[in-house]
Amino acid sequence: MTAPHDPIALELFKNAIFSIADEMALTVFRTTYSGVLKDNMDYSTGFADAKGKLAAQGLTLPGHLGSVPTAMESIMRHFEGDMAPGDVFIMNDPFDGGMHLPDIFVIKPLFHEGERLAFACTVCHHIDVGGRVAGSNASDSTEIYAEGLRIAPMKLYDKGVLNKTIMTFIEKNVRLPVQLFGDLRAQLAACHIGEKQFAELVARHGPEETKFYLNEVIDYAERLTRAALAELPDGEWSFEDWIDDDGVDYGKPIRLFVTITKKAGHMVVDWTGTNPQVKGAINNTLSFTKAASYTGVRSVLPPGIPNNEGVFRAIEVICPPGTVGNGVLPAACAARGLTGFRMTDCMFGALAMMLPDRVKAAGDGGNTGISIGGYDAARKPFVYVDFTCGAWGARPFADGLDGNSHMFANMASHSIEVTEAEQPIQLLAYEFVPDKAGAGKYRGGVPFLRDYKFLEAEGMLQVRSDRRDHRPFGLYGGSPGGPSENYLNPDGENRLLQSKLTMTIKKGEIFRHVLAGAGGWGDPLERDPDAVLRDVRNELLSPANALAEYGVVIDLKAWKVDEAATAGRRADIAKARGWTEVPKVQWHDPVLLARAAE
C-alpha cells in the first residue's frame, strides 16, 4: 500500500477525484434536456467526503462555489444518521441549504461495504419549477411563495426505491415536466458515474487510505490558501457599489458595501452595511454571497489551489441576516443572480485597492436573464431561458475581454440555430456595440446586443438586467462602461423599457437587449494610439469618440493615426485638466500588439 504521506500519491489522488467531478459535469452536459443546461451550462458538480465537506468541484460555475457546502450542511443536519446505500437526496429550498428555486440539488451518498465514504453532488438550474411566471425567475415577485415549487431536503430514492409521491408533486407543479425529469435523470446519471469511478478509486487505495486522502486534499487546499494569503498585504479595504433598483421600487438604488480585512493567512469578507433585503426577487442567500466573495478572492490567488472546503476555512464571510446578501423568509430570491454577480464586482473594487496591479475594473454587471414563455395554439407550453453576459472590465495590463462570460458565471452562449429550431423565437441580431466600452489606458470589454423576435401569438417576457443608472466602474482613471438598454421593436416604435420587467409580448414583436460596457483601467490619454486605431477599424469605437475620449485623430482615408494632430489634441485635453504635460504613451504597446495578433 502507498504510504499516506507520499506527496506523489496525494497528487495522483487529488487529480483522480477532480477528474471524477469533471466527468460528472460532462455527464450532465451530454444527457441533459433543456437549453439552460446544455447550452448555457448553468450547473455544477462536486465531490464531498463522508462528513459532507467539499473535496473537489468540477470545472463548472464559480457561482456555485459556496452552494455545495451549504447544501451538504443541510443534508447532514437532517439525515446524517439516516443514510443507506441507494439513497438519493433532493432539495432546492433557499432557506434550508438551497440558493433559489430553479437550482435543484441531487446528492448521493457513496458507500463501501456498508460504510459511507463520500458524496456525489450535483446542482442544475432547471428551466421551470412553477410559480407565477414561466421560467420561475421573475425579478418582480415579492415573496418566495410566488416563485415556484419549494422542495425541502428529502429522499428522492430510499434504499434504491424511487419516491413516486415527490415525482408526482413535481410533475403537477411545473410547466415542462418532461424536460425537468430529463434534467433530473441527467443529475442522477452524473451521480451514478461519480459512484462508479469512486468505487474504482476505493478498490485501488482501500477505504482507510481513501478517507485519509480525501481529508488530506482538503487540508492541502487550506495550507496553499493560507500560504498564498500570507503573501498579500495586510490591512483593511472597503468598497461601495449600487444596484439600480429591485424591479419593484423603481429608481430606489440598493447599496452593496464590503470590507476586506486581511491578516497573515486569514481573510474576513464583511458585507455589513449592505442594503436591507428588498421587495423584489434579487435577494441573495448567504451561500451565494459566500460564492461571490470566494470568487473575488480566488481571482488574486495562484491558480493551482483546489476548489474545496480548505479554501473556505481561510476566508471568513460575514453578511447580516435580513440584508440583500442574506435574505430571510419570505424574501423573494429567484433573480438573485444579479446581486451575486454585482457582489463579485464589488469585491474587485475592494481588492483593487489592495492589489492595484492585479485586479480588473467592473464588467457588464453580471449575466442578464431573459425568459420568454407561454403556450402555443395547441396549449402546449414553451419556456425559453437565456443568461447572457460578455464584457470583462479592463485589466491593469490588458484590455477587458470581449464576448467572454463573466468570471462568476463561466457559462456558454445558446446556439442560435438550436434556439430557433426549438423555440418560437428568431434571433435577428447578435453583434458588438460600439462606443460602450469604458475608456482607459486599457479599455473595458465591448458589449453586444441581441434582438429576439417572438413568433407565437402571445407570451410572457421577463428580463433581469441592471447597470443603467450605476454604470460599471473604471479604475485608476479609467472611465465607466456605457449603460445597459432594453427596447421593444427597435426598428419601429423603439420603446425604451425598464431594466427589469415582466410584460406580455405579441407575435412579431422584437425585444432588444444591449449589455452594459465594461469599465476601463488607467488614463485614456495613456492609451497607445495604434490600439485606438485598431478599435476604430474594427467598428468597436467611432472616430468621434476616439477623438473625444482618447484625443486620437485618425486619417480615415489612409487609416493612419495623425501623430501631430493627436499630440496637439492630447496637449489641449491635458491643459484643460490643469496639467503641465501630457501623460507618457508607450506607442506600439507590446501587450496590445500581442493581443491583436491572437
Residues 557, 583: one domain?
Answer: yes
Q: What is the mean pLDDT of residues 531-552?
A: 97
Query: Who's near 214: CB < 8 A, 6+ residues apart?
Result: 17, 49, 50, 55, 117, 118
pLDDT at 87 over 90: yes
C-alpha cell at 134: 414561466
What is the residue whose three cell numbers read 485623430? 553
The verdict on residue 45 lying in a domain is yes
Instruction: Mark whether 391 and 429 lie in a shared domain.
Output: yes
**328-383 tens-digit pLDDT:** 999 999 999 999 999 999 999 999 999 999 999 999 987 899 999 999 999 999 99
- Residues 327, 75: contact at Cβ < 8 Å? no
Provide the residue range defining the domain that includes 380: 360-522
Asked which of 36-50, 133-147, 438-452, 544-558 is least confident by mean pLDDT, the reply is: 36-50
Quote the Cα angle for 152-325-49, to 5°. 50
Spatial neighbors of 419 by CB under 8 A, at least 6 apart, are 35, 39, 384, 386, 425, 427
* Percentage, residues of the chain above pLDDT 70: 97
The helix or strand, by DSSP H or E, that contains position 12, with its residue range, turns out to be helix 7-31
Question: What pLDDT does residue 120 have?
Answer: 97
Q: Are residues 91 and 121 in the same domain?
A: yes
Q: What is the pLDDT of residue 587?
A: 63
Tell whether the torsion through CA atoms of 346, 399, 43 and 24 is positive or negative. negative
**Cell numbers linked to 353:** 485597492
> Do 459 and 578 belong to one domain?
no
Angle of the 177-205 helix axis to the 7-31 helix axis, nearest 10: 160
Residue 69 lies inside a defined structural domain of this protein: yes
> Considering the domain boundaries, does residue 303 fall inside one?
no
Euclidean distance between CA atoms 89 and 562, whole angstroms: 67
Cα dihedral 311/315/321/324 (nearest 10): -90
* Domain closes at, from 163, 191, 223: 223
- Total structural domains within the chain: 3
Please check whether residues 530 and 510 belong to one and the same domain.
no
Cα(510)–Cα(299) distance, integer angstroms: 38
Which pLDDT score, from 0 to 100, does residue 586 have?
Answer: 64
Looking at the structure, tell me whether residues 518 and 531 fall in a common domain: no
Mean pLDDT of the chain: 93
Chosen domain end from 492, 522, 552: 522
Inform me whether the pLDDT recorded for 94 exceeds 60.
Answer: yes
Contact 116, 110 (CB under 8 A): yes
Domain boundary among the residues 223, 249, 282 is at: 223
In a domain, 264, yes or no: no
Is the domain of 438 the same as that of 517? yes
Q: Amino acid letter at 312? A: F
Q: Is the pLDDT of residue 595 over 70?
A: no
Q: Do residues 553 and 440 both lie within one domain?
A: no
For the CA atoms of 288, 289, 295, 296, the dihedral, rounded to the nearest 10 degrees, stands at 160
Could you tell me if 60 and 158 lie in one domain? yes
In sequence order, the 6+-apart residues with CB closer than 8 A to the CB of 165 are: none
* Distance between CA atoms of residues 124 and 2, nearest Å: 37
**Planar angle of CA 122, 124, 130, nearest 5 degrees:** 135
Tell me, yes or no, whether 175 and 110 share the same domain: yes
Above pLDDT 90, what percent of the chain?
87
Examine the domain organization and report whether 177 and 52 are in the same domain.
yes
Residue 1 has pLDDT above 50, yes or no: no
Provide the pLDDT for residue 563: 94
User: Does a structural domain hold residue 308?
Assistant: no
Chain segment 116-150, per-residue pLDDT in tens = 999 999 999 999 999 999 999 899 999 999 999 99
Q: What is the largest CA-CA distance in the chain?
A: 80
Q: Do 457 and 558 fall into the same domain? A: no
**Residue 588, pLDDT above cutoff 80:** no
What confidence category does residue 414 fall into, taking pLDDT thresholds of 50, 70 and 90? Answer: confident
Inform me whether the pLDDT recorded for 226 exceeds 90: yes
Q: Which three cell numbers stand for residue 482?
A: 456605457
Report residue 584 as a C-alpha cell.
Answer: 507618457
The H or E element containing residue 72 is helix 67-79
DSSP string, 202-228: HHHH-HHHHHHHHHHHHHHHHHHHHHH
- Whether 231 is in a domain gets the answer no
Does residue 583 fall inside a structural domain? yes
- Set of cell numbers at residue 418: 438550436
**Residue 393: phi, psi to the nearest 5?**
-65, 155
Residue 172 pLDDT > 50, yes or no? yes
- Average pLDDT on 75-104 reads 96
8 A C-beta contact, residue 299 and residue 293: no
Mean pLDDT across the stretch 286-303?
94
Mean pLDDT of 574-594: 72
Cis, peptide link before residue 490, omega less than 30° from 0: no
Separation CA 204–CA 191 (nearest Å): 20
DSSP annotation string for 326-343: B--TT---TTTHHHHHHH
Choose the weakest-confidence range: 62-71, 261-270, 348-357, 587-596. 587-596
φ/ψ (deg, to 5) at 299? -65, -20
- Inform me whether the pLDDT recorded for 151 exceeds 50: yes
Task: Please report whether residue 540 resides in a domain.
Answer: yes
pLDDT, position 6: 84
- Give just the sign of the alpha carbon dihedral 218, 223, 225, 226: positive
User: Which pLDDT score is estimated for 406?
Assistant: 85
The 3-state secondary structure of 509-533 reads: CEEEEECCCCCCECCHHHCCHHHHH
Quick one: how far is CA 394 from the chain centroid? 18
